[in-house]
Amino acid sequence: MTSLIQEKVQQASAILQEKAIDVWLTFVRETSAGGDPVLPLIYGETSLTWESALILTNQDERIAIVGRYEAEAARQTGAYTSIIPYDESIRPHLIGELRRLDPASIAINTSLSDVFADGLTHGMYQVLVRYLVDTPYANRLVSAEEVIAALKGRKTPTEVERIRKAVQEAELIFRRTFESVRTGMTEQDIHRFMQDLARRRNLGLAWSPDGCPIVNTGPDSPKGHVAPTGLQVQPGHILHIDFGVSCQDYCSDLQRVAYMLRPGETSAPPEVQRAFDTVVKAIEKSAQAMLPGVTGLEVDRIAREELALNGYEEYKHGLGHQFGRQAHDGGGMLGPAWERYGNLPLRKLEAGQVYTIEPSLDVPGYGIIGVEEDVIVTETGIEYISQPQKEIVLLS
């Protein structure tokens, strides 16, 4: 991870220049008890114990003020140009560096909308303000939300390569799963089968094992982020699977659907096929609109309009989200202007961002149609990272 951390802290300096922010301060303690979500990108997985300050500037100074016994670990990241160890208090060293830099703006990790930009705890915020009370810098604190959204969203070539690998691995597991599904298998059976395949390939799971994969067979399966049940795959069921793996610390997130043929059937019933085709068309139209500068709100609206045009109710979730180190990676999203999403759908797409596109709908009597593709935004549009599902998988 060391070279990737170096890539990201260098990228951060350019982002600070672009956003006209002088200094970005990540202020943490005892990170093994719950670290700042941005730490894996700019420091790695190594814990910080005492109060620690990671300072990145728009002039590419990279300063780590850490406890004496963690100074060597900070050096080993290869990401920081200055390592300042301390013993009794971080305060004089932190104030000293701020006075030397004299920033007009200090970005700190607080956000109303983005969980990955909200890593500064309330207690540590109070500590920071107390340290700055007799300085001009307490009044120069701003949110690092835009900095972190850009840093997490604009994937480097190394990050994109790892995401591609994670997508390819998930697609392989999907193929092997559909080759093995039989009538009478339960959702739990399929869940175990896919996890076993991932384990044998030395892959992690993209989210909590209880619900990775999410498996739905037929119309009675509970929807949403739930664990699989004992429901059995039966002829006439739509089989819907939501699954992703973690490979070299980066994730994939895909949904695929199959139909279990009844005796005598050679294709899916018209109502199932029509629903599948509508979801695929919504994905294609949304993808065509995904250009840098377009908001997630505008993209989401296209998919909802496609479903409505074909007589379906709108899905009660966002159309898509960024992913990378996590299946839900923060930053902007493709979504409606609902209060629960804050300002995330209003953010503009940028080249280098990696998104899911995942509209869904219910087919009464059959089950859930949910297809999810993984794409990267480029200067001229999107590129599919996944192999798009264009045909419903037919199982017998």
pLDDT tens, residue by residue, 375-390: 999 999 999 999 999 9
Q: State percent of the chain over pLDDT 70.
A: 99
The 8-class DSSP code of residue 335 comes to -
The mean per-residue pLDDT over the stretch 144-158 comes to 96
Count of other CB atoms within 10 angstroms of residue 311:
8
pLDDT: which is higher, 291 or 329? 291
In Å, how far are 47, 223, 307 from 226, measured between CA atoms? 32, 7, 25
Q: Could you tell me the pLDDT band of residue 90, with boundaries at 50, 70 and 90? A: very high
Max CA distance (Å), the chain:
81
Total length of the chain: 396
Backbone angles phi, psi at 32, to 5 degrees: -65, -20
Task: Look at residue 1 and tell me whether its pLDDT is greater than 80.
Answer: no
Condensed to tens digits (0 to 9), the pLDDT of residues 201-260 reads: 999 999 999 999 999 999 999 998 899 999 999 999 999 999 999 999 999 999 999 999
Say what the pLDDT of residue 49 is.
96
Q: Could you tell me the pLDDT band of residue 331, with boundaries at 50, 70 and 90? A: confident
Task: Look at residue 54 and tell me whether its pLDDT is greater than 60.
Answer: yes
Condensed to tens digits (0 to 9), the pLDDT of residues 241-252 reads: 999 999 999 999
The one-letter code for the residue type at 106 is I
pTM here? 0.94
Pick the closest to residue 113 from 297, 321, 330, 335 (CA basis). 330
**β-pairing verdict for 381-384 and 373-378:** antiparallel
The C-alpha angle with vertex 88 and arms to 82 and 93, in degrees rounded to 5, equals: 35
Say what the pLDDT of residue 330 is.
80
Question: Which domains, from first to last, does the chain contain?
Answer: 2-152 (3.40.350.10), 154-395 (3.90.230.10)
Q: Are 302 and 392 in contact (CB under 8 A)?
A: no
**What's the mean per-residue pLDDT of the chain?**
96
Show the tokens assigned to 259: 């139909």
Q: Could you tell me the pLDDT band of residue 41, with boundaries at 50, 70 and 90? A: very high
Task: Look at residue 2 and tell me whether its pLDDT is greater than 80.
Answer: no
Q: Could you tell me the pLDDT band of residue 263, with boundaries at 50, 70 and 90? A: very high
CA distance 240 to 174: 11
Condensed to tens digits (0 to 9), the pLDDT of residues 160-198 reads: 999 999 999 999 999 999 999 999 999 999 999 999 999
The mean per-residue pLDDT over the stretch 98-108 comes to 98
The mean per-residue pLDDT over the stretch 100-125 comes to 97
